[in-house]
Amino acid sequence: MNSMNLVGGALQHSNPSARLRAALDIGTTPDPQFLDALVQRCAVEPDFQVREMLTWALIRHPASLTVPRLIDQVRSGGALARSQALHTLSKIEDPSARPVITEDLISDPDDEVARSAWRAAVVLVPIGSEGQLAAMLGTQLGRGGYDVQRSLSRALVALGSVIEPMVRRAASSTNDSIRAHALATEALLRDPDAGFAVFEAKRIDALGVDDTTG
What is the C-alpha to C-alpha distance for residues 200 and 154, in angstroms, rounded to an integer?
Answer: 13
Measured CA distances, 50 to 9, 115, 158, 206 (Å)? 15, 20, 27, 39
Average pLDDT for 25-45: 95
> Does residue 201 have a pLDDT over 80?
no
| pLDDT value at residue 8 | 66
Question: Quick one: pLDDT at residue 214?
Answer: 41
Query: Which tens digits make up the pLDDT trace of 84-140?
Result: 999 999 999 999 999 999 999 999 999 999 999 999 999 999 999 999 999 999 999
The Cβ-side half-sphere exposure at 194, using a 13 Å CA radius, reads 14
What does the pLDDT read at residue 196? 62
Q: Residues 37-44: what's their mean pLDDT?
A: 96
Residue 187: what pLDDT? 87
Taking residue 110's Cβ as centre, other Cβ atoms within 10 Å add up to: 14
Residue 190: the pLDDT is 86
pLDDT at 4 over 60: no
CB 55 within 8 A of CB 88: yes
**Contact (Cβ atoms closer than 8 angstroms) between residue 33 and residue 3:** no
Sign of the Cα torsion 149, 155, 158, 163 reads negative
Q: Is the pLDDT at 2 greater than 50, yes or no? A: no
Mean pLDDT of the chain: 90
Measured between alpha carbons, how far is 5 from 2 in angstroms, rounded to an integer? 5
The predicted structure's pLDDT at residue 198: 57
